Amino acid sequence: MKTNWEARYQRIDNLRMATQDRHLARLERLEKKAAPMVGELLTGKYYFSRGKEYVESTSHSEIVDYLIRNKYV
């Protein structure tokens, strides 16, 4: 039989895990939305272009992170 403290710690742990799951699901959803916005150059680099703004990187994930961080998705 669990004590009150053990039950309380279990509830807190369950809430923490649920919060982490929601965060990861949200991040995956945003990454899926950002992926089509990234182009690839012949040199193997990746880019994002919108109007006068142009961002280039050697990593696809850096461009996706840039789009999420700057709220393009």
Read off the pLDDT of residues 20-65 as tens digits, 9 standing for 90 and up.
999 999 999 999 999 999 999 999 999 999 889 999 999 999 999 9
What are the φ and ψ backbone dihedral angles of 20, each rounded to 5 degrees? -65, -40
pLDDT given at position 30: 95
Q: Which residues of 10-33 are buried (b: 16+ CB within 10 A; e: fewer)?
A: eeeeeeeeeeeeeeeeeeeebeee
- Indicate the number of domains in the chain: 1
Which domain does 21 fall in, by range? 4-69
User: Is pLDDT of 1 > 80?
Assistant: no
